[in-house]
């Protein structure tokens, strides 16, 4: 069975082996972050919708679960954009909880945490992971490029107020972008906001995969260490260990299912194929390089493969 909504597990330094669930169409978001590994947002909205029936998503999850979830550490609702735009996320979470006792995480940009209805819908989630990269309206617009209806102040206050009532764990995520939010003054302003939030962890990320905008670069090591010192956060290793998984039997289609949502470099692809005892590694990589629907990007000395937006938007 080819899955439309369930994918992975994907290796994650934060969540271990993370089984992804996508409840939204590709590229649907209320931000268009300059560092997004999926490229620029193609469907910019800030209105919550039932993009797919809950039963359609749950049926896939049940089918996947038939083989067991022993290799899964977290079930992560993340999608290929902003998952909180899915208006039935509360029902989806409730249904997942009936099927598995694996912890559930929601990876979000945090914008819709200003909606108190969302608070109720996330009550059963074990970990909520909001992103917060900016310290004022100007840096918010520069880094995150929000939908025109979004207020920076409302966004920040939403995360703060949610953190006061939420009974699960909150792991904040900060993406450092060279020359924008990686200097001492910026980091101290970000800390002032973080100090108002009741959180359990802070993760510090850098754009290790090809970003939407070429100018969104990785800060130097000193800046990353400074962020760790000022924020008391955990800087993630540049790349997670190679532990990709797919239930799709065909090796090529398995890779396509992964890079639709998570770009892979040539070493990750090779390791993934080796784990499946593939005998055609070189020919598969060559096929990927020649596939007109795949974008191959040379980035930081690595050859990165991701699905082109045109094909992905038709999924």
Range of the domain at 56: 6-241
Instruction: Read off the pLDDT of each residue in 133-148 and give the average, rounded to a whole number.
Output: 98
Task: Provide the b/e sequence for 116-137 (b: ≥16 CB within 10 Å).
Answer: eebbebbeebebbbbbbbbbee
Kindly report the pTM of this predicted structure. 0.78
| CA-to-CA separations, 79 to 25, 66, 155, 167, 181, in angstroms, rounded | 8, 22, 20, 23, 26
Residue 257 lies in a domain: no
Residue 291 lies in a domain: no
Residue 11 lies in a domain: yes
Residue 314 lies in a domain: no
Query: How would DSSP label each residue in 64-101?
Result: HHTT-STT-SEEEE-TTS-GGGBTTHHHHHHHHHHH--
pLDDT band at 313 (very low <50, low <70, confident <90, very high): very low
Residue 188 lies in a domain: yes
Residue 259 lies in a domain: no
CATH assignment of the domain containing 212: 3.20.20.70
70-103 confidence digits (pLDDT tens): 889 999 999 788 999 999 999 999 999 999 999 9
Q: Give the start-end residues of each E strand in 134-268.
A: 169-175, 201-205, 234-235, 264-265
Q: At what angle do helices 266-275 and 281-290 cross, to 10 degrees?
A: 140
Domain count, the chain: 1
> Torsions phi, psi of 39, nearest 5?
95, -170
For the chain, give the mean pLDDT.
Answer: 90
């Amino acid at each position: 069975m080819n899955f439309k909504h369930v994918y992975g597990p994907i290796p994650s330094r934060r969540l271990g082996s993370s089984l992804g669930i996508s409840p939204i169409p590709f590229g649907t978001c209320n931000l268009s972050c300059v560092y997004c590994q999926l490229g620029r947002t193609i469907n910019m909205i800030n209105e919550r919708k039932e993009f797919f029936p809950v039963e359609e998503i749950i049926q896939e999850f049940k089918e996947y679960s038939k083989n067991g979830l022993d290799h899964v550490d977290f079930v992560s609702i993340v999608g290929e954009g902003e998952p909180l735009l899915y208006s039935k996320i509360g029902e989806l979470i409730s249904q997942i909880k009936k099927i598995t006792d694996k912890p559930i995480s929601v990876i979000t940009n945090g914008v819709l945490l200003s909606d108190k209805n969302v608070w109720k819908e996330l009550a059963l989630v074990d970990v909520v992971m909001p992103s917060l990269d900016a310290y004022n309206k100007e840096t918010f617009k520069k880094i995150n490029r929000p939908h025109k209806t979004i207020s920076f102040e409302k966004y920040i206050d939403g995360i703060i107020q949610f953190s006061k009532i939420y009974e699960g764990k909150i792991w904040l995520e900060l993406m450092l972008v060279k020359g924008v939010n990686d200097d001492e003054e910026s980091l101290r302003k970000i800390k002032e906001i973080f100090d108002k939030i009741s959180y359990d962890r802070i993760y510090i990320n850098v754009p290790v995969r090809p970003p939407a905008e070429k100018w969104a670069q990785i800060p130097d090591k000193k800046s990353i260490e400074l962020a760790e010192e000022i924020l008391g956060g955990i800087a993630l290793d540049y790349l997670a260990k190679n532990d990709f998984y797919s239930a799709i039997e065909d090796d090529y289609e398995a890779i396509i299912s992964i890079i639709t949502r998570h770009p892979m470099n040539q070493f990750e692809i090779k390791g993934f194929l080796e784990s499946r005892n593939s005998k055609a590694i070189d020919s598969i990589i060559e096929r990927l390089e020649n596939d007109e629907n795949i974008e191959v990007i040379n980035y930081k000395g690595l050859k990165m493969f991701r699905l082109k937006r045109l094909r992905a938007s038709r999924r």
